[in-house]
């Protein structure tokens, strides 16, 4: 995703779907990053990773982009030990918390990128290698002038499709109605993706997606969540 840089006409710069700002990181999270990153972290590079070598086995691979505090990824990895899980997050506190939980639960099926999701998908993930890609509550960038920063754009959707195996699924959830409709429009236009719920339809929250604390609080106030599930056909 790129756009012209207004400060330098004619030049192009990437448009990031995130802003590098972080909350307070605890000593425990700092310690986890120092001690556990060499075990579970994946270093930045520009070459596709060998998934069987990374995990030491052949298994379905599920990736979550922007895992936040990591609780959803942890629950999924604990519930499905037969699958490999890749997490992508740019914020150090969230990565540190995830690494602590991975050690506490003794999980062997989790590896982590601390990098931009688009860069990871573009350079580190081979085509037709992911069984499932999860994007839960991406930043909606609600102001119209910021919509170009939204993660799910046509080019990104095509990139995701290429990284999924045939029959693999893309699952997106958002609590922002305008963004839900925008995502639906984008994904419905991608060749090779099929809406599992039918044209322009959303799905009920699948049982495998844990409801987050934030989501539960919102639902108690009457807020709605939209889940979209698309599969790669060819």
* Active-site residue set: 139
DSSP labels, the chain: -EEE-TTSTT-EEE--SS--------HHHHHHHHHHHHHHEE---SS---HHHHHTS---EEEEES-TTSHHHHHHHHH-TTSEEEEE---HHHHHHHHHHHHHHT-SSEEEE-S-HHHHHHHTS-TT-EEEEEEES-----SGGGGGG-S--HHHHHHHHHHEEEEEEEEEEES-HHHHHHHHHHHHTSTTEEETT-TT--BPPPTTSPPPHHHHHHHHTT---EEEEEEE--
Alpha carbon dihedral 190, 191, 192, 195, in 10-degree steps, equals 50
Report CA-CA distances (Å) from 23 to 20, 63, 91, 93, 135. Answer: 10, 24, 9, 7, 21
Strands 226-232 and 164-174: antiparallel
């Amino acid at each position: 995703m790129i756009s012209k840089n207004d400060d330098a006409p004619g030049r192009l710069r990437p448009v990031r779907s995130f802003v590098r700002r972080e909350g307070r990181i605890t000593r425990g999270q700092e310690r986890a990053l120092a001690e556990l990153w060499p075990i579970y972290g994946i270093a930045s590079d520009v070459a596709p990773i060998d998934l069987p070598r990374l995990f030491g086995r052949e298994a379905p691979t599920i990736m979550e982009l922007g895992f936040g505090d990591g609780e959803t990824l942890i629950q999924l990895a604990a519930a499905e030990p037969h699958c490999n899980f890749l997490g992508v997050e740019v914020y150090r506190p969230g990565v540190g918390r995830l690494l602590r939980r991975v050690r506490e639960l003794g999980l062997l099926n989790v590896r982590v990128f601390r990098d931009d999701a688009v860069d990871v998908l573009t350079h580190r993930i081979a085509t037709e290698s992911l069984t499932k890609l999860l994007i839960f509550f991406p930043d909606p960038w609600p102001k119209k002038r910021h919509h170009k920063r939204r993660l799910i754009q046509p080019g990104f959707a095509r990139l995701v499709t290429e990284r999924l195996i045939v029959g693999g699924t893309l699952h997106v959830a958002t609590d922002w109605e305008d963004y839900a409709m925008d995502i639906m429009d984008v994904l419905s236009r991608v060749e090779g993706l099929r809406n599992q719920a039918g044209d322009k339809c959303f799905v009920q929250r699948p049982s495998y997606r844990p409801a987050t604390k934030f989501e539960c609080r919102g639902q108690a106030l009457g807020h709605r969540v939209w889940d979209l599930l698309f599969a790669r056909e060819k």
